[in-house]
């Protein structure tokens, strides 16, 4: 605003014909500033949890297929998503769900935050022998502000049964990210 006043005052002092020129420059500067603030993406994408699969405490068997389904949106443009599956043998949390599955019942129970260590601590999920580790990036078509995602992930045989985390990381084109973590249980298929 100070710059605009200075331009107008100088134009008035130099020549009244320059008033129109100075006002035109001020209008252009104000228009550019308004466009820049409107086009800046400052919000993360949204994961609709209403129909999200897998659900907490779902049980999967080795050799089966894990069906992934979710609806996502962004105010500007979606970018990509990453699916990661890693063991939860140490019963850590990721801050998006306080649910831990009851192995015997296949149900869930909640824990106080003191019972688990948080996401800030480092976990080496891939170092447990026989544990299933899955991580894959998926692109979302350019220009989309909403999408319905369906992915089928084969559950391998020969991996350790137990508690696992399914992690979804949804990223928009500007780099903002939303995370959804789900506790699932893996069991050996027995005929």
Distance CA 126, CA 177 (A): 24
pTM over the 0.75 mark: no
Identify whether residues 70 and 128 lie together within a single domain: yes
pLDDT of residue 94: 77
pLDDT digits (tens, 9 = 90+) for 131-152: 999 999 999 999 999 999 999 9
Report the CATH number that the domain containing residue 160 is assigned in CATH. 2.60.40.2550
Q: How many domains does the chain have?
A: 2
Instruction: Check pLDDT > 50 for residue 90.
Output: yes
Which residue range(s) make up the domain with 35?
Answer: 2-39
Distance CA 33, CA 116 (A): 47
Q: How far is CA 71 from CA 67, 107, 144, 168, in A?
A: 14, 25, 12, 12
Identify whether residues 156 and 84 lie together within a single domain: yes
pLDDT digits (tens, 9 = 90+) for 8-55: 566 556 555 555 555 555 565 665 555 555 568 999 999 999 999 999
Identify whether residues 34 and 53 lie together within a single domain: no
């Amino acid at each position: 605003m100070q710059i605009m006043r200075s331009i107008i005052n100088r134009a008035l002092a130099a020549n009244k014909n320059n008033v129109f020129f100075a006002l035109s420059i001020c209008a252009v500067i104000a228009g550019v500033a308004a466009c820049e603030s409107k086009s800046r993406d400052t919000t993360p994408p949204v994961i609709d949890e209403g129909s999200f699969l897998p659900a907490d405490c779902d049980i999967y068997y080795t050799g089966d297929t894990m069906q992934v389904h979710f609806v996502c949106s962004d105010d500007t443009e979606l970018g990509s998503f990453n699916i990661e599956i890693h063991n939860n043998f140490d019963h850590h949390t990721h801050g998006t769900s306080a649910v831990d599955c009851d192995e015997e019942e296949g149900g869930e129970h909640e824990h106080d935050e003191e019972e688990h260590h948080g996401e800030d601590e480092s976990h080496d999920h891939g170092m447990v022998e026989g544990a299933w580790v899955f991580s894959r990036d998926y692109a979302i078509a350019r220009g989309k502000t909403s999408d319905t995602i369906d992915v089928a992930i084969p559950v391998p045989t020969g991996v350790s049964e137990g508690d696992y985390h399914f992690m979804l990381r949804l990223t928009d084109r500007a780099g903002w990210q939303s995370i959804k973590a789900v506790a699932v249980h893996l069991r050996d298929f027995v005929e």
